[in-house]
Chain A
């Protein structure tokens, strides 16, 4: 029982660590790194669904009959691309925020905004 699900649970742990970085940290770059980890762990979860014990990579070749499921792989390829697109955009925003506020800490930005109001 424990071993059968261990793989899923370790992924859950990684996911939650990433999620924690995103919502608990004030530093904008660290939030983005956290998002990446969060997403990468979700990818591992998907790929785990597709695994068959004793299977091989889904490239049809002679001598193999058991292949892992290709569909999660395809979905995750797409998701990785979406992830890197989000990262690039987020980092570009961070650069601009740093120029506009002189800081990349969330709480300091809030302070600056309140003073302005």
Chain B
């Protein structure tokens, strides 16, 4: 990979802001547009940018495959886990009302948690898909 100084510096500068924006979208989704899915995509795009500039190998060092795969699975488990938790404490599946003493608080908590699950899985999957495409070695049969 050739190195372009400007690109490297600029992308390094941009990285924290993109990640910060992703977190903002994740947690501000209740009030403005946005939510787990969009945040996950933005989060992933930060790493895709990093991988484009510094190469997939370096980016892979920042986010190893094991962690990504763990993230993919954990997001789904978190979401489904919230549902099962509600079921165990006496509500229906995904009935957040029973998560806290006050139903509205429970709703808020439930929405927050499942959005987190969505964000986690989406970000991990998107980064994984990109790494897999970019890291794929052409091998004709």
The answer to A–B direct touch (Cβ < 8 A) is: yes
* Known contacts A57-B33, A59-B33, A95-B136; 9 further A-B pairs (Cβ under 8 A): A59-B31, A77-B37, A81-B37, A95-B133, A99-B138, A99-B139, A99-B141, A100-B140, A100-B141
B66 CB–A CB distance under 8 Å: no
A-B contact pairs, 20 of them (CB 8 A): A57-B33, A59-B31, A59-B32, A59-B33, A77-B37, A81-B37, A81-B122, A88-B129, A91-B133, A92-B132, A92-B133, A95-B133, A95-B136, A99-B138, A99-B139, A99-B140, A99-B141, A100-B140, A100-B141, A102-B140
Residues of A within 8 A of B133 (CB): 91-92, 95
Within 8 A of A (CB), among B90-141: 122, 129, 132-133, 136, 138-141
* Chain B positions within 8 Å of A100 at CB level: 140-141
Chain A, 57-96, contact with B by CB distance < 8 Å: what is the 0/1 string? 1010000000000000000010001000000100110010
Complex CA distance for A99 and B136, rounded to whole angstroms: 11
Task: Count contacts on B: residues with CB < 8 A to the other chain.
Answer: 13
Q: Smallest CB-CB separation from A57: which chain B residue?
A: B33
Q: Which residues of A contact B138 (CB under 8 A)?
A: 99
* B129 surroundings in chain A (CB, below 8 A): 88
Q: Within 8 Å CB of A57, what residues of B?
A: 33
CA distance A77 to B36 in the complex (A): 11
Taking CB as reference atom, which chain A residue is nearest B40?
A81
Residue of A nearest to B35 (CB): A77
Q: How far is the CA of A78 from the CA of B19 in the complex (A)?
A: 23
Q: Which residue of A lies closest to B132 (CB)?
A: A92
Q: In the assembled complex, how far is the CB of residue A103 from the closest CB belonging to chain B, in whole angstroms?
A: 11
Closest Cβ neighbor of B118 among chain A residues: A81
Mark A38-73 against chain B: 1 for CB-CB distance below 8 A, else 0.
000000000000000000010100000000000000
- In the bound complex, CA of A88 to CA of B128 (Å): 11
